[in-house]
Amino acid sequence: MIVWFVVLYLLVSVGIGLYAGTRVHNTKDFAVAGRSLPLPVVTATVFATWFGAETVLGISATFVKEGLHGVVADPFGSSLCLILAGLFFAGRLYRLNLLTIGDYYRLRYNRTVEVLCTLCIVASYLGWVSAQIKALGLVFNVVTDGTVSQPLGMVLGAAIVLTYTTFGGMFSVAILDFVQITVIMGGMLYIGSLISDLTGGVGVVLSHAATAGKLAFFPEAKLDAWLPFIGAWMTMMLGSIPQQDVFQRITSAKDERTAVRGSVLGGALYFLFAFVPMFLAYSATLVAPAMFDALLKQDSQLVLPTLVLQFTPVPAQIIFFGAVLSAIMSCSSATLLAPSVAFSENIVKGLVPRMSDRTFLRAMRTVLVCFTGLVLGFALNSEATIFKMVESAYKVTLVAAFIPLFAGLYWKRANSQGALSAIAAGLTTWVGLELLGPSPAVWPPQLVGFMMAGVGMVIGSLLPIGRGRCR
């Protein structure tokens, strides 16, 4: 029964995506939904930016093993990313009326900065989208009781998401996000009430978690504990701001006020609902301690799906897996579209500048198919957990893309020379420490790279020789 529901749900999703495709007439429709989305839809699609595989399966599993201290990057860093993006970046970027975040780097600096930052942004999506595809494979494997293997599930999931995203672009992403957010919220709250009854109530679970030290958020008062903590927090909080999917949601809004409010509301909503999967997963350790201790050693990502399959009625299972599929599909479609649009606009279009809009739209869809194939290959061959794949994805944008974006918006003396110095200093420091630094490192390589990028921006912009364009 669950399998048939999953099939029906996937068919409906594809149908909605194909319908959305009828509204795509040009590249602006495909990339930013014609800048026409109202506040409820913008809020829903911002929420769906983060509520995906890592939230339902990755964060919950990490919390059970490490407690709140282990999930500082997500949801704490990621939700703050969306709120900060709304408060300090959305208004300024919306007014520029751009198609991609890469366009900003060209407008503010030059073509070289545009290409370098775009390549870093596109590369950061490889781990993020692969985590969503990996989660789809896991869900298909669980709901079919092993009939569909995880690798086959990844292939099927990637093909389904690719189909409706290719046709509908940002319109299909936005419409499906709005539909799916209802399923996610309703489903998670309903499952939470059922599991709460099994454990004796929310208070019992929280008390047990507190006694076990799982609710301790801040690390010990030691430098080697605080620096990795800050590094993980900043990677998601700041490294995720110069991202095309965040930018698309901002610029898809019908006006500047909607862009700002939608980003802040979506981030706050995400922070609240991210705790529901954590509550569910930890409840599993109270319901059947021996069984779930074994799962934690085998694959902690199976804790939550197994809890639902073993201890809830079939209707609840259908609702849960519907919510999980909603979360993963809404997130994966958006994160497939974003780097494909960025690469097409800021790399391909620069190489072939005289393309017609129709040809350019075809190029965007072609890049989307190619990127999906690359992501699928990475997902099939990666052994990293979903949470780690997401957590590591934004190190490159933290060290290379954030400082040029922030300085360009808030420092008038920032120029092309400073931006190139920031990118070079950030990337070389980060890569050098990752390859040659001590392991484990007291200073996280991405944190050092971020600081060096800031130094590079200041020195490069103030040097009189070779000073670049400044606006």
User: For 233-243, what is each residue's pLDDT tens digit?
Assistant: 999 999 999 99
Q: How confident is the model at residue 387 (pLDDT cuts 50, 70, 90)?
A: low
For tokens 């200073």, the residue is 443
Q: Record the tokens describing residue 378, joined without a space.
A: 């990475």
Q: Which amino acid is at 125?
A: Y
253 has which bridge partners? 37
Output the CA–CA distances (angstroms, integers) from residue 317 to 105, 143, 392, 469, in the order listed. 46, 9, 31, 58
Residue 53 is predicted with a pLDDT of 67
Phi, psi for 212 (deg, rounded to 5): -80, 0
Q: Record the tokens describing residue 143, joined without a space.
A: 């709901």
The angle formed by the CA atoms of residues 158, 248 and 182, to the nearest 5 degrees, is: 65
* C-alpha–C-alpha distance, residues 3 and 7, integer Å: 6
- Percent of the chain residues past pLDDT 90, beyond the cut: 41
For tokens 């339902």, the residue is 56
- The most confident of 11-25, 104-118, 220-234, by mean pLDDT: 104-118
Q: Record the tokens describing residue 471, joined without a space.
A: 């606006």
* C-alpha–C-alpha distance, residues 236 and 330, integer Å: 19
Count of beta carbons in the 10 Å neighbourhood of residue 418: 28
The pTM for the full model equals: 0.86
* C-alpha–C-alpha distance, residues 207 and 1, integer Å: 36
Which has the closest alpha carbon to 62: 238, 186, 236, 246?
A: 236
Q: How confident is the model at residue 465 (pLDDT cuts 50, 70, 90)?
A: low
Residue 115: pLDDT over 60:
yes
User: Do 71 and 281 meet the contact criterion of CB atoms below 8 Å apart?
Assistant: no
Q: Record the tokens describing residue 54, joined without a space.
A: 């890592």
Q: Record the tokens describing residue 388, joined without a space.
A: 């780690």
Which has the closest alpha carbon to 13: 326, 241, 270?
A: 326
Count of beta carbons in the 10 Å neighbourhood of residue 397: 26
